[in-house]
Amino acid sequence: MTKGIAIQTILMLLVGILVVGIIVYMVYRYFVGAPLGEQECRARVTSWCSSCKIMDFQSNGYQLGSDLGKVGTTDGCIQKYGFGDSNWLSTTDCNDRPADVGAFCAAFTP
């Protein structure tokens, strides 16, 4: 009589490895995050511009998300996808340079 590992044990081991792999992948995606796609970036910029326009570009502290545009870098999706002139990104607040922000947002708001 030969001894061996039961097929059920092998299958359970494979299921366990698969579950652990899925959990590791989900944790990685949650903490590292995927870069924004063009449509997601456009939607977030439109939302930010709409909010600034509603506040007549006078809100102090309503800042652009760092994943959209980062001060002094080219890491944001605004620069990545070339959404207009982003020279105003020396600031990320609605009211610091309202003329520049308003000109940029004209393409995203009616």
pLDDT digits (tens, 9 = 90+) for 68-82: 776 555 567 888 888
Encoded amino acid at 77, one letter: C
Q: How many domains, the chain? A: 2
Domain with 83, as residue range(s), is 38-105
pTM score of the predicted model: 0.64
Q: Are residues 91 and 51 in the same domain?
A: yes
**Helix ranges, the chain (H):** 7-32, 38-54, 77-80, 98-105
Helices (H) and strands (E) in the chain, counts: 4, 0
pLDDT digits (tens, 9 = 90+) for 81-101: 888 766 667 666 788 777 888
Report CA-CA distances (Å) from 66 to 22, 55, 70, 78, 91. 28, 21, 5, 10, 11
pLDDT digits (tens, 9 = 90+) for 23-44: 999 888 877 766 778 898 889 8
Q: Are residues 26 and 47 in the same domain?
A: no
